[in-house]
Amino acid sequence: MNELLLKGYVKFQALLSDESGQDLIEYALVVALIALAATAGMNSVASGINAAFTNIATKLNTYTS
């Protein structure tokens, strides 16, 4: 019985000292931060593209009328 408890304790200590999952969490946080920055930046990019297409449409309308 003592041997079984000792093996269980050793496995529990091994799980506590294992840090392999920490890298995955850090990568996930970096990806989330990049996605947030990209989403925030898309608003200004979309406004610029919309303005460019509006300008092109206005000039095409002027030259074809």
The pLDDT of residue 1: 72
In 3-state terms, the chain is what percent helix, strand and coil (to 5)?
A: 95, 0, 5
Task: Give the chain's mean pLDDT.
Answer: 85
Rg over alpha carbons for the chain, rounded to the nearest Å, is: 29
How many angstroms separate the CA atoms of 24 and 32, rounded? 12
Local confidence band at 32 (pLDDT 50, 70, 90 cut-offs): very high
Give mean pLDDT, residues 4-13: 80
- Give me the residue label for tokens 């074809």: 64
How many residues can be counted in the chain? 65
